[in-house]
Amino acid sequence: MNTLSMKLIFLGPPGAGKGTISKMVTERLGIPQISTGDMFRAAVKEKTELGLKVQAILAAGGLVPDELTIAIVRERLSWPDVRQSYILDGFPRTIAQADALAGFSELDAAVDFEVKDDLILFRLTGRRVCKACGAIYHKVTKAPKVEGVCDICGGELYIRNDDKEETVKARLKAYHDETEPLIGYYQKRGLLLTIDGSPDAETVYNAFISEIGRFLKK
């Protein structure tokens, strides 16, 4: 498989494992993973013109508008480390963003990690995070030895706001309303690769490697 030119976006609902798989790809294949959060933080840290605008919006508690998000992505994709390959996680989220991306970068594939809503709810509402060291547990599939206590550092485990049931349901609704149409968008363009995201991360990663190799050779 030629990893020298692998420009990908990862699609899928919150909790589908996009971040986990993209980190595995980055570590094992050296392909940079870029999330919108990473891009915002990098732009702010570098004090670019766009970064200063983002900083002002976030400081005021606002949402970064489409046009600014698109400009940040365009700027980030001009950096030398991603000229040949990248994984975009969290962008595009809408058809308008996808149209904009097509204007300044040519994708090799859009990878959709399919996971049913009930499994997403199980995964996210059962997640527990250590306040001290950030270690992640699950009350069923990866329970700590002592309930509410981190095995690693003894820190307190808590439920992040994003993982509360009402929040997860709202995030899923937003995904279905705004982002899911991208599946059809990329399918029409012959760029869609669908992967079953329901097994464990290693199984999903191996399926992705196998399928993306065949997909890019077509």
∠ at Cα 196 (13, 191), nearest 5°?
80
Q: Using an 8 Å Cβ cutoff, are 12 and 114 in contact?
A: yes
Q: CA-to-CA distance for 128 and 163, rounded, in angstroms? A: 9
* Fold of the 6-115+178-217 domain: Rossmann fold (3.40.50)
Q: How far is CA 74 from CA 65, 71, 164, in A?
A: 14, 5, 33
Out of 28, 45, 160, 173, the active site residue is 160
Out of 18, 76, 123, 128, the active site residue is 18
Active site annotation includes 76: no
Q: How far is CA 127 from CA 107, 145, 152, in A?
A: 33, 15, 16
Active site annotation includes 18: yes
Region label for 191, one of left (φ > 0), alpha (ψ between -120 and 50) or beta (otherwise): alpha
Q: CA-to-CA distance for 202 and 212, rounded, in angstroms? A: 15
Q: Using an 8 Å Cβ cutoff, are 108 and 128 in contact?
A: no
* pLDDT < 50: residue spans in the chain: 1-2
Out of 53, 74, 93, 169, the active site residue is 93
Largest CA distance in the chain: 52
Burial (CB count <10 Å: 0-12, 13-18, 19+), residue 17: buried
Domain-wise residue ranges, the chain: 6-115+178-217, 117-163
Out of 41, 74, 169, 171, the active site residue is 171
Active site annotation includes 123: no
pLDDT at position 218, please?
66
pLDDT at position 195, please?
97
Radius of gyration of the chain measured on its C-alpha atoms: 18
Active site annotation includes 41: no
pLDDT at position 18, please?
93
Model confidence pLDDT, tens digit, residues 148-197:
999 999 999 999 988 999 999 998 998 999 899 999 999 999 999 999 99
pLDDT at position 3, please?
53
∠ at Cα 4 (208, 197), nearest 5°?
15
pTM of the model: 0.86
- Residue labelled with tokens 């609902």: 13
Active site annotation includes 93: yes
